[in-house]
């Protein structure tokens, strides 16, 4: 099944999210102030950063005691050993490193720089330095937001928690799906015939990643100012799958 027209709309006027904020309530309010009536088939893409903030996923850097391993690695990287300690705490293992760059396998399987920990936009009133971890379970965050919208708006839409990832081989970051609910994050095309009745060569598409990349065009790098994008017009028939299904198992991977 294919879609003919898709519309993406950034929801505006969303306040800066703080720990303890009710992201569900903020979302429902954003729908109202933007004149959006969510419909079946809609997908809401939410920037990871506001989800992490609402979930209070901060770590105070000053409280961190770096391990020997973090101190050694930090010296090679030219990074703060406490920051490296926090990254290692969120990671299964280090995939690559060089001065200034630390690529790890996050505990959820994402291969990414710094375990996705952001320390560029984080500040506190008293000036203490803190960093923001990824949501504990982004698929669960997506499900919870989907349920909240269903209860309050009476419609089950798709929800994606998105982030920007760098890629090997290609420059520039693109949006990807860290979490997803209510849609097939991966679509398995195996066995489907192509136009000529032959079996398709490509067997899986990263549906939620393509949606997150599309939303990235509207969020830009200002994902805190424009943290939510509504996508309308997508059609799918594949069964639901969470964003965890987008993670290639390490044993099938040639680049770890």
Token duo for residue 48: 């990871």
Q: 23-42: which residues touch its own copies (CB under 8 A)?
A: none
Q: For residue 251, count CB atoms less than 10 angstroms from its CB and return exposed for 0-12, middle for 13-18, buried for 19 or more.
A: exposed
| Least distance (Å) between residue 2 CB and its own copies | 5
Binding piece for its own copies, criterion CB under 8 A, among 64-72, 85-93, 133-141, 166-174: 166-174
Q: Toward its own copies, which CB reaches closer, 43 or 144?
A: 43
Do 114 and 104 contact (CB within 8 A), yes or no? yes
Do 178 and 110 contact (CB within 8 A), yes or no? yes
Maximal CA-CA distance, the chain: 65
CA 67 to chain centre: 28
Q: 63-92: which residues touch its own copies (CB under 8 A)?
A: none
Taking the C-alpha atoms of residue 88 and residue 109, their distance in angstroms, rounded to an integer, is: 13
| Least distance (Å) between residue 98 CB and its own copies | 7
Q: 190-249: which residues touch its own copies (CB under 8 A)?
A: 192, 194-196, 198-202, 204-207, 209-211, 213-214, 216-222, 224-226, 233-234, 245-248
| Least distance (Å) between residue 73 CB and its own copies | 15
Q: 96-155: which residues touch its own copies (CB under 8 A)?
A: 96, 98, 101, 103, 110-111, 118-121, 123
The four Cα atoms 139, 144, 146, 152 give a dihedral, to 10 degrees, of: -170
- Selected binder of its own copies within 3, 33, 72, 124 (CB under 8 A): 3
């Amino acid at each position: 099944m294919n879609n003919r027209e898709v519309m993406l709309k950034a929801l505006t006027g969303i306040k800066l999210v703080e720990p303890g904020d009710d992201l569900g309530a903020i979302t429902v309010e954003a729908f109202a102030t933007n004149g959006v009536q969510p419909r079946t088939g809609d997908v809401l893409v939410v920037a990871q950063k506001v989800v992490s903030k609402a979930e209070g996923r901060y770590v105070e850097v000053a409280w961190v005691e770096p391990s020997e391993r973090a101190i050694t690695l930090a010296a090679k990287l030219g990074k703060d050993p406490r920051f490296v300690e926090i990254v290692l705490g969120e990671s299964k293992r280090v995939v690559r490193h060089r001065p200034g760059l630390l690529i790890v396998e996050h505990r959820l399987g994402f291969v990414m720089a710094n375990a996705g920990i952001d320390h560029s936009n984080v500040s506190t009133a008293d000036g203490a330095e803190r960093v923001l971890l990824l949501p504990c379970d982004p698929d669960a965050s997506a499900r919870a937001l989907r349920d909240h919208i269903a209860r309050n708006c009476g419609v089950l839409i798709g929800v994606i928690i998105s982030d920007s990832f760098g890629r090997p081989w290609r420059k520039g970051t693109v949006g990807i799906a860290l979490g997803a609910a209510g849609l097939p994050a991966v679509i398995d095309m195996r066995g489907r015939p192509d136009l000529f009745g032959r079996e398709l060569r490509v067997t899986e598409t990263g549906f939620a990643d393509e949606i997150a990349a599309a939303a990235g065009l509207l969020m830009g790098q200002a994902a805190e100012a424009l943290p939510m994008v509504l996508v309308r017009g997508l059609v799918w028939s594949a069964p639901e799958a969470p964003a965890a299904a987008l993670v290639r198992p390490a044993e099938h991977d040639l680049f770890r």
